[in-house]
A and B are shown apart, each in its own frame.
Chain A
Amino acid sequence: MTTTLAREETQAPSMPTGLHQLKKILSIRAVQIILVEIVVIAFFFAMSPEGAFLNAANVRGMLLTASQVLLLAIGQAILMSAGKIDISQGAVLILASVASGQVMVALQGSMSPAATLIVGLAVALLIGAVLGAAIGILVGVVGINSLVATLGMLSIATGVAQVATGGVNIFGMPGELSDWFGSVRFGAIPLPVILSLAVIGVIWAVYRLTPWGTHTLATGSNALAARRVGIKTVRNTIGIFIVSSTLAGLAGYIDLARYSTTNISGHLNDSMAAIAAALIGGTALTGGRISFLGAIVGALLAILLQSGLVIINLSPFYQTIAVGAMLLIAVSLDNANRERPGSS
């Protein structure tokens, strides 16, 4: 997951090898963010009463939040690597959780708890996949700009969720949803986090190790060139929107499992957070470059800031200011390094 560097760059003769390696490592965006995060963690740990920032409950809470945000950030990074963007992820998450929740409430008692949970998961993923396919067709086949297409989907999905619920959150999920999934821990690690990381690991492997990732990057780098060499760019576009929205559907299911209720007004800014995480992590909005690790640590930075500010009794609103500032700094650094394209 490290940025591709030219061989010449890695062998500058005038610099000792160790120093050069250190400089190379420090030039990686994800490493820079991790260093910032170490400072942030140390600061909040020192400032919080009795080191509460790093107590088990708070760490678990941050990890559970990360289990959802990371899925959205990875989906967004993949889209951005192809020069696309999705501002409807939060709305898809909401609609998927509403549909899944309604189905599970309706089914519980009529089938086994395990079957109810599996059907609920399938519904959440299916809603995500169908909405993703719809966006992909609008962008890839009809030719609508992805920002406009997903702006439309943001409105439609939010509206459908509100109509379906009458604007009232759904309660009464099967207790097993939390007992068997949302609240389960392996050691200190919640099961939803393990699931998210496993899914992200699989997606990274497929992206990095098969032609799919290269074709996606090529589409973002030069769409005309990609078409001319025979890459099915329309199919690729539909595919990456399906992946992204299915990840949003999974995040919706995790949301249900965490809280045992829907949150129909709580996720509308999630897409913006995911875009910011991917951008801060070094993925290019204009396509051709992606950093999975960068998107992950970019998403974690926002979570750390939000949790830390609450713990030290400052308004969490400062988090939005801090994330905005980080975003602008990161993009400014990108512009300064624009002559160094590459993928990771």
Chain B
Amino acid sequence: MTTDVLEIRDVGKSFGAVTALREVNLTVRKGEIIALLGDNGAGKSTLMNIICGSNPPDRGAVMVDGQRLDSVDAAQRLGVGVVYQDLALAPHLDLAENMFLGNEITTGPFKMLDRARMRREAEEAIQGLGISTLKDVRLPVGRLSGGQRQVLAVARAIKWASQLILLDEPTAALGPKQVDIVLDSIRTAAAQGLGVILVSHDIPNVLKLADRIVILRHGTIVADRSPEGMTVSDVMTVMVGDDA
């Protein structure tokens, strides 16, 4: 029985004459944290968009739990959660409403919102991740700090993901304490059996967190290895290659 939650086979993507990705092969196992690194223009965003279904590949295939992922709907159906860099939160809605946005719990023949249950489950999801910074699920998200919003976005992705979560720069613009909270949440998600793909420029923390680092350069994977023994300088050298 395979423990792979994600398999990327010979994926390629071009935009006009520009080849953004070529012959990308990658697998992610249950509970594994993969850091996807690369310089600007290396193809990280393109690969992320392909994995979250918003931009299907020209060649190859993305398989989650043995099924093809080729759209945002398929990604949601297959249990892929995404934390976008802009977080995709609605500031006027409260924490519980954001947690369940698009997945509201309804009851009865008229599909009435079960707000009490959504609030209770939102609290449980947040507490389950050991997050103490989000105490009131009825607080509008517009009143949260940047760090609290980031944690909420991570908690939401974890709640709805059953196979894999993708995180795009989850620690950008956060203070050290908030970074720790987010990293702890990611570790908890992995411990629960989710595969994790993390795109980040925060290399020191990535080296502490990731089980594997995958480095993209010019649209192809140039390194896929354990971070053990690697320094920030080593990673930078592989990222920029001969361009430095």
Determine whether the beta carbon of B104 is less than 8 Å from that of A229.
no
Cβ of B142: which chain A residues have Cβ within 8 Å of it?
339, 341
Determine whether the beta carbon of B104 is less than 8 Å from that of A211.
yes
Cβ of B93: which chain A residues have Cβ within 8 Å of it?
214, 217-218, 221, 288, 343
Determine whether the beta carbon of A209 is less than 8 Å from that of B113.
yes
Out of B86, B103, B111, name the residue touching A224 (CB < 8 Å).
Answer: B86
Out of A225, A230, A339, name the residue touching B90 (CB < 8 Å).
Answer: A225
Check A289 for interface membership: any CB of B closer than 8 A.
yes
Q: Name the residue of chain B whose CB is nearest to the CB of A289.
A: B92
Out of B86, B88, B92, B139, name the residue touching A217 (CB < 8 Å).
Answer: B92
Cβ of A8: which chain B residues have Cβ within 8 Å of it?
136, 139
A27 to chain B, nearest CB (A): 15
Check A12 for interface membership: any CB of B closer than 8 A.
no
- Complex-state Cα separation, A342 to B94, whole angstroms: 8
- Complex-state Cα separation, A7 to B136, whole angstroms: 7
Check B72 for interface membership: any CB of A closer than 8 A.
yes
A56 to chain B, nearest CB (A): 39
A76 to chain B, nearest CB (A): 18
Check A21 for interface membership: any CB of B closer than 8 A.
no
Interface string of B121-153 (1 = CB under 8 A from A): 000000000000000101110110000000000
Check A282 for interface membership: any CB of B closer than 8 A.
no
Cβ of A209: which chain B residues have Cβ within 8 Å of it?
110, 112-113
B121 to chain A, nearest CB (A): 15
- Complex-state Cα separation, A230 to B86, whole angstroms: 16
Determine whether the beta carbon of B88 is less than 8 Å from that of A225.
yes
Check B106 for interface membership: any CB of A closer than 8 A.
yes
B162 to chain A, nearest CB (A): 15
Determine whether the beta carbon of B104 is less than 8 Å from that of A341.
no
Check B101 for interface membership: any CB of A closer than 8 A.
yes
Interface string of B81-124 (1 = CB under 8 A from A): 01010111111111001000111101000111100000000000
What size tier do the contact residues of chain B reach?
Answer: 20 to 34
Cβ of B92: which chain A residues have Cβ within 8 Å of it?
217, 220-221, 287-289, 341-343
Q: Name the residue of chain A whose CB is nearest to the CB of B142.
A: A341
Considering only residues 176-221 of chain A, those with a C-beta below 8 Å from chain B are 209-211, 214-215, 217-218, 220-221
Q: Name the residue of chain A whose CB is nearest to the CB of B82.
A: A228
Check B73 for interface membership: any CB of A closer than 8 A.
yes
Cβ of B97: which chain A residues have Cβ within 8 Å of it?
214, 218
Cβ of A231: which chain B residues have Cβ within 8 Å of it?
101-102
Cβ of A211: which chain B residues have Cβ within 8 Å of it?
104, 106, 111, 113
A219 to chain B, nearest CB (A): 9
Q: Name the residue of chain B whose CB is nearest to the CB of A343.
A: B92
Determine whether the beta carbon of A4 is less than 8 Å from that of B82.
no
Interface string of B19-31 (1 = CB under 8 A from A): 0000000000000
Check A6 for interface membership: any CB of B closer than 8 A.
yes
Cβ of B111: which chain A residues have Cβ within 8 Å of it?
210-211
Check A226 for interface membership: any CB of B closer than 8 A.
yes
Check A222 for interface membership: any CB of B closer than 8 A.
yes
B46 to chain A, nearest CB (A): 17
Interface string of A303-344 (1 = CB under 8 A from B): 000000000000000000000000000000000000111110
Q: Name the residue of chain B whose CB is nearest to the CB of A229.
A: B102
- Complex-state Cα separation, A341 to B94, whole angstroms: 10
Cβ of A221: which chain B residues have Cβ within 8 Å of it?
90-93
- Complex-state Cα separation, A186 to B87, whole angstroms: 53
Cβ of A225: which chain B residues have Cβ within 8 Å of it?
86-90, 101
Determine whether the beta carbon of A6 is less than 8 Å from that of B140.
yes
Out of A4, A287, A341, name the residue touching B138 (CB < 8 Å).
Answer: A4
- Complex-state Cα separation, A214 to B111, whole angstroms: 13
Check B178 for interface membership: any CB of A closer than 8 A.
no
Cβ of A4: which chain B residues have Cβ within 8 Å of it?
94, 138, 140
Cβ of A215: which chain B residues have Cβ within 8 Å of it?
102
Determine whether the beta carbon of B90 is less than 8 Å from that of A217.
yes
A13 to chain B, nearest CB (A): 16
B114 to chain A, nearest CB (A): 10
- Complex-state Cα separation, A211 to B101, whole angstroms: 9
Known A6-B143, A230-B72, A339-B143: A222·B104 in contact at CB below 8 Å: no
Cβ of A343: which chain B residues have Cβ within 8 Å of it?
92-93
- Complex-state Cα separation, A225 to B94, whole angstroms: 14
B104 to chain A, nearest CB (A): 4
Check B76 for interface membership: any CB of A closer than 8 A.
yes
The 3 closest A-B pairs by CB, nearest first: A288-B92, A229-B102, A221-B90
A–B Cβ pairs within 8 angstroms, 24 of them: A6-B136, A6-B138, A6-B143, A7-B136, A209-B110, A210-B110, A211-B104, A217-B92, A218-B90, A221-B90, A222-B90, A222-B91, A224-B86, A225-B89, A226-B101, A228-B88, A229-B88, A230-B73, A231-B102, A288-B92, A339-B142, A340-B140, A341-B143, A343-B92
Q: A288-B90, A341-B92 are in contact. List 17 more A-B contacts (CB 8 A).
A: A4-B138, A4-B140, A7-B138, A210-B110, A214-B101, A218-B90, A218-B97, A221-B93, A222-B90, A224-B86, A225-B86, A226-B101, A228-B72, A230-B72, A230-B102, A287-B92, A288-B93
B interface, CB within 8 angstroms of A: 72-73, 76, 82, 84, 86-94, 97, 101-104, 106, 110-113, 136, 138-140, 142-143
